Structure 1
Amino acid sequence: MAECKPCITLMEERLKLMKASTAAKVDATLYRSMIGGLRYLVHMRSDIAFTVGYVSRFMEDLREDHWTVVKWLLRYVKRMVDQGIIFPKTSGSRLQLTVFSDVDMAGDIDG
Protein backbone atom coordinates (compact mmCIF):
# COMPACT_ATOMS: atom_id res chain seq x y z
CA MET A 1 0.00 0.00 0.00
CA ALA A 2 3.07 2.24 -0.01
CA GLU A 3 2.27 3.43 -3.54
CA CYS A 4 -1.51 3.67 -3.09
CA LYS A 5 -3.54 6.74 -3.98
CA PRO A 6 -4.58 8.60 -0.77
CA CYS A 7 -8.28 9.32 -0.20
CA ILE A 8 -10.06 12.02 1.79
CA THR A 9 -12.84 9.99 3.44
CA LEU A 10 -12.68 7.27 6.10
CA MET A 11 -14.98 4.91 4.26
CA GLU A 12 -17.56 4.83 1.54
CA GLU A 13 -20.68 6.83 2.38
CA ARG A 14 -23.67 4.74 3.54
CA LEU A 15 -21.61 1.55 3.40
CA LYS A 16 -23.42 -1.49 4.81
CA LEU A 17 -21.29 -4.56 5.50
CA MET A 18 -22.76 -7.88 6.61
CA LYS A 19 -21.36 -10.80 8.57
CA ALA A 20 -23.11 -13.14 6.14
CA SER A 21 -21.22 -11.83 3.12
CA THR A 22 -20.81 -14.09 0.08
CA ALA A 23 -17.59 -12.41 -1.12
CA ALA A 24 -14.35 -14.39 -1.29
CA LYS A 25 -12.52 -15.15 1.96
CA VAL A 26 -9.29 -13.30 2.77
CA ASP A 27 -6.15 -14.10 4.79
CA ALA A 28 -7.24 -13.95 8.44
CA THR A 29 -3.71 -13.39 9.79
CA LEU A 30 -3.08 -10.31 7.65
CA TYR A 31 -6.54 -8.85 8.36
CA ARG A 32 -6.25 -9.33 12.13
CA SER A 33 -2.73 -7.94 12.16
CA MET A 34 -3.88 -4.85 10.28
CA ILE A 35 -6.85 -4.34 12.63
CA GLY A 36 -4.50 -4.66 15.62
CA GLY A 37 -2.25 -1.95 14.22
CA LEU A 38 -5.20 0.30 13.47
CA ARG A 39 -6.59 -0.20 17.00
CA TYR A 40 -3.22 0.99 18.35
CA LEU A 41 -3.34 3.99 16.01
CA VAL A 42 -6.80 4.95 17.35
CA HIS A 43 -5.07 6.14 20.55
CA MET A 44 -3.43 8.91 18.55
CA ARG A 45 -6.00 9.32 15.76
CA SER A 46 -9.50 9.31 17.23
CA ASP A 47 -10.96 10.24 13.83
CA ILE A 48 -10.57 6.63 12.69
CA ALA A 49 -12.15 5.06 15.81
CA PHE A 50 -15.59 4.40 14.33
CA THR A 51 -14.30 2.81 11.13
CA VAL A 52 -11.78 0.63 12.99
CA GLY A 53 -14.52 -0.52 15.36
CA TYR A 54 -16.80 -1.22 12.42
CA VAL A 55 -14.34 -3.44 10.53
CA SER A 56 -13.35 -5.18 13.78
CA ARG A 57 -16.81 -6.76 13.94
CA PHE A 58 -16.03 -9.08 11.04
CA MET A 59 -12.87 -10.82 12.29
CA GLU A 60 -14.47 -14.26 12.70
CA ASP A 61 -15.41 -14.64 8.99
CA LEU A 62 -13.28 -12.31 6.89
CA ARG A 63 -14.37 -11.51 3.36
CA GLU A 64 -13.06 -9.42 0.47
CA ASP A 65 -15.61 -6.62 1.01
CA HIS A 66 -14.44 -6.24 4.64
CA TRP A 67 -10.80 -6.13 3.48
CA THR A 68 -11.68 -3.43 0.92
CA VAL A 69 -12.83 -1.13 3.73
CA VAL A 70 -9.58 -1.72 5.63
CA LYS A 71 -7.56 -0.80 2.54
CA TRP A 72 -9.71 2.32 2.06
CA LEU A 73 -8.96 3.29 5.68
CA LEU A 74 -5.23 2.80 5.10
CA ARG A 75 -5.44 5.14 2.11
CA TYR A 76 -7.10 7.74 4.38
CA VAL A 77 -4.38 7.32 7.02
CA LYS A 78 -1.72 7.80 4.33
CA ARG A 79 -3.30 11.10 3.30
CA MET A 80 -3.73 12.35 6.87
CA VAL A 81 -0.34 11.29 8.25
CA ASP A 82 0.85 14.92 8.47
CA GLN A 83 -2.45 16.23 9.87
CA GLY A 84 -3.25 16.68 13.55
CA ILE A 85 -4.83 18.83 16.20
CA ILE A 86 -2.69 21.10 18.33
CA PHE A 87 -3.89 22.34 21.70
CA PRO A 88 -1.66 25.32 22.46
CA LYS A 89 -0.89 26.02 26.07
CA THR A 90 -2.18 29.40 27.15
CA SER A 91 -1.10 30.94 30.41
CA GLY A 92 -3.72 31.30 33.10
CA SER A 93 -6.62 29.80 31.18
CA ARG A 94 -8.11 26.36 31.39
CA LEU A 95 -8.36 24.10 28.34
CA GLN A 96 -11.97 23.37 27.39
CA LEU A 97 -12.88 20.97 24.61
CA THR A 98 -16.29 20.73 22.98
CA VAL A 99 -17.00 17.69 20.80
CA PHE A 100 -19.93 16.93 18.50
CA SER A 101 -20.73 13.56 16.96
CA ASP A 102 -23.22 12.36 14.37
CA VAL A 103 -23.28 8.57 14.11
CA ASP A 104 -25.99 6.52 12.40
CA MET A 105 -25.99 3.30 14.44
CA ALA A 106 -29.65 2.74 13.53
CA GLY A 107 -28.52 1.91 9.98
CA ASP A 108 -26.42 -1.03 11.23
CA ILE A 109 -27.50 -4.25 9.50
CA ASP A 110 -26.03 -6.70 12.05
CA GLY A 111 -26.79 -4.54 15.14
Structure 2
Amino acid sequence: MSDLSILSYYLGIEMRQGKEELTLGQSAYSSKLLEWSSMAECKPCMTPMEEWLKLMKASTTVMVDATLYRSIVGGLRYLVHTRPDIAFAMDYVSHFMEDPKEHHWAAVKRLLCYVNGTVDQWIIFPKTGGSRL
Protein backbone atom coordinates (compact mmCIF):
# COMPACT_ATOMS: atom_id res chain seq x y z
CA MET A 1 0.00 0.00 0.00
CA SER A 2 1.30 3.42 -0.84
CA ASP A 3 0.49 6.88 0.43
CA LEU A 4 -1.12 8.76 -2.47
CA SER A 5 -1.65 12.17 -0.84
CA ILE A 6 -3.60 13.99 1.82
CA LEU A 7 -7.12 12.60 2.14
CA SER A 8 -9.67 14.98 0.63
CA TYR A 9 -12.77 12.87 -0.09
CA TYR A 10 -13.91 9.63 1.53
CA LEU A 11 -17.33 7.93 1.32
CA GLY A 12 -19.09 11.14 0.34
CA ILE A 13 -17.42 13.20 3.06
CA GLU A 14 -15.22 16.07 1.96
CA MET A 15 -12.14 16.76 4.10
CA ARG A 16 -9.93 19.81 4.32
CA GLN A 17 -6.76 19.59 6.35
CA GLY A 18 -5.11 22.79 7.46
CA LYS A 19 -2.33 23.50 9.93
CA GLU A 20 -4.76 24.34 12.72
CA GLU A 21 -7.85 22.25 11.94
CA LEU A 22 -9.49 19.36 10.14
CA THR A 23 -12.79 20.25 8.47
CA LEU A 24 -15.43 17.74 7.36
CA GLY A 25 -18.46 18.46 5.20
CA GLN A 26 -20.94 16.96 2.79
CA SER A 27 -21.98 19.87 0.59
CA ALA A 28 -21.89 17.79 -2.62
CA TYR A 29 -23.91 15.01 -0.99
CA SER A 30 -26.40 17.55 0.41
CA SER A 31 -26.89 19.04 -3.05
CA LYS A 32 -27.43 15.61 -4.59
CA LEU A 33 -29.95 14.71 -1.89
CA LEU A 34 -31.85 17.95 -2.50
CA GLU A 35 -31.86 17.36 -6.26
CA TRP A 36 -33.01 13.77 -5.85
CA SER A 37 -35.86 14.81 -3.56
CA SER A 38 -36.86 17.69 -5.88
CA MET A 39 -36.19 20.22 -3.12
CA ALA A 40 -33.17 22.01 -4.61
CA GLU A 41 -35.24 25.09 -5.42
CA CYS A 42 -37.08 25.29 -2.10
CA LYS A 43 -36.97 28.38 0.07
CA PRO A 44 -34.36 27.93 2.85
CA CYS A 45 -35.52 28.10 6.45
CA MET A 46 -33.63 28.96 9.62
CA THR A 47 -34.48 25.94 11.80
CA PRO A 48 -34.60 22.21 11.00
CA MET A 49 -37.96 21.69 12.69
CA GLU A 50 -40.91 23.73 13.86
CA GLU A 51 -40.89 24.61 17.52
CA TRP A 52 -43.18 22.41 19.65
CA LEU A 53 -43.93 20.10 16.71
CA LYS A 54 -46.02 17.09 17.75
CA LEU A 55 -46.36 14.30 15.20
CA MET A 56 -48.54 11.26 15.80
CA LYS A 57 -48.40 7.80 14.25
CA ALA A 58 -52.17 7.45 14.31
CA SER A 59 -53.58 10.03 11.95
CA THR A 60 -56.36 10.45 9.42
CA THR A 61 -54.27 12.46 6.95
CA VAL A 62 -53.33 11.11 3.55
CA MET A 63 -50.57 8.49 3.38
CA VAL A 64 -47.50 9.36 1.29
CA ASP A 65 -45.13 7.15 -0.71
CA ALA A 66 -43.40 5.15 2.03
CA THR A 67 -40.47 4.15 -0.20
CA LEU A 68 -39.65 7.76 -1.05
CA TYR A 69 -40.05 8.79 2.59
CA ARG A 70 -37.67 6.06 3.76
CA SER A 71 -35.13 6.90 1.07
CA ILE A 72 -35.06 10.59 1.96
CA VAL A 73 -34.84 9.92 5.70
CA GLY A 74 -32.05 7.40 5.05
CA GLY A 75 -30.19 10.04 3.07
CA LEU A 76 -30.62 12.50 5.92
CA ARG A 77 -29.35 9.87 8.36
CA TYR A 78 -26.07 9.67 6.39
CA LEU A 79 -25.85 13.46 6.37
CA VAL A 80 -25.86 13.52 10.20
CA HIS A 81 -22.22 12.32 10.19
CA THR A 82 -21.09 15.86 9.54
CA ARG A 83 -24.27 17.72 10.49
CA PRO A 84 -25.11 17.17 14.17
CA ASP A 85 -27.47 20.17 13.99
CA ILE A 86 -30.06 18.05 12.15
CA ALA A 87 -29.70 14.94 14.33
CA PHE A 88 -32.74 15.53 16.55
CA ALA A 89 -35.09 16.43 13.71
CA MET A 90 -33.89 13.52 11.58
CA ASP A 91 -34.35 11.09 14.47
CA TYR A 92 -37.83 12.45 15.12
CA VAL A 93 -39.07 11.99 11.54
CA SER A 94 -37.50 8.52 11.35
CA HIS A 95 -40.03 7.27 13.94
CA PHE A 96 -42.73 7.38 11.25
CA MET A 97 -41.07 5.37 8.48
CA GLU A 98 -43.50 2.46 8.79
CA ASP A 99 -46.61 4.43 7.87
CA PRO A 100 -45.73 8.01 6.83
CA LYS A 101 -48.56 10.50 6.46
CA GLU A 102 -48.75 13.92 4.84
CA HIS A 103 -47.81 15.85 8.02
CA HIS A 104 -44.75 13.60 8.52
CA TRP A 105 -43.71 14.38 4.94
CA ALA A 106 -44.17 18.10 5.66
CA ALA A 107 -41.69 17.80 8.56
CA VAL A 108 -39.16 16.07 6.27
CA LYS A 109 -39.62 18.79 3.65
CA ARG A 110 -39.00 21.42 6.34
CA LEU A 111 -35.77 19.62 7.27
CA LEU A 112 -34.73 19.55 3.61
CA CYS A 113 -35.40 23.30 3.36
CA TYR A 114 -33.08 23.80 6.33
CA VAL A 115 -30.42 21.65 4.65
CA ASN A 116 -30.85 23.73 1.49
CA GLY A 117 -30.06 26.90 3.44
CA THR A 118 -27.06 25.37 5.19
CA VAL A 119 -25.45 23.26 2.44
CA ASP A 120 -22.03 24.78 2.99
CA GLN A 121 -21.81 24.15 6.74
CA TRP A 122 -18.83 22.06 7.83
CA ILE A 123 -17.78 20.57 11.13
CA ILE A 124 -14.38 21.73 12.40
CA PHE A 125 -11.96 19.74 14.55
CA PRO A 126 -9.08 21.89 15.87
CA LYS A 127 -5.61 20.33 15.89
CA THR A 128 -4.65 21.86 19.23
CA GLY A 129 -2.84 19.90 21.92
CA GLY A 130 -4.94 17.68 24.16
CA SER A 131 -8.27 16.09 23.43
CA ARG A 132 -10.48 19.18 23.62
CA LEU A 133 -12.72 19.99 20.66
Q: Same fold (TM over 0.5)?
A: yes
Shorter chain as denominator, the TM-score bin is 0.7 to 0.9
Cα deviation for residue 21 of structure 1 reads 1.5
**Does 2:44 match 1:6?**
yes
Q: Unmatched 5+ residue regions in structure 2? A: 1-38
Q: TM (normalized to structure 1)?
A: 0.80
Give aligned pairs, total: 95
Q: How does 1:50-61 map to 2 (within 5 A)?
A: 50-61=88-99
**SS of the counterpart of 1:54?**
helix
Match runs of 1:57-96 below 5 Å: 57-90=95-128, 93-96=129-132
State the one-letter code of the partner of 2:107. V
Greater strand fraction, Structure 1 or Structure 2 = 2
Contact 2:44–2:117 (8 Å) recurs in 1: yes
User: Residue 44 of structure 1: which of 79, 82, 94 is its match?
Assistant: 82
Deviation >6 Å, runs of 4+: none
TM-score (norm 2): 0.68
The aligned amino acid for 1:94 is G
Residue pair 2:64, 2:102 contacting (<8 A) in 1 also: yes
Q: Is there any run of 5+ residues in structure 1 with no aligned partner, and where?
A: 98-111
- For residue 21 of structure 1, what is the aligned residue in structure 2? 59
Q: Given that residues 45 and 113 in structure 2 are in contact (C-alpha distance below 8 angstroms), is that contact kept between their aligned partners in structure 1?
A: yes
Bigger Rg, which one: 2
Quote the offset at 1:16 in angstroms: 0.3
Q: What fraction of aligned residue pairs are identical, expressed as a percent?
A: 69
- In structure 1, give the amino acid aligned to 2:78: Y
For residue 55 of structure 1, what is the amino acid of its counterpart?
A: V
CA drift at 1:96:
1.0
Taking the aligned partners of 2:81 and 2:42, their CA distance within structure 1 comes to 24
Aligned to 1:103: none
User: What is the aligned-residue RMSD (CA, Å)?
Assistant: 1.1
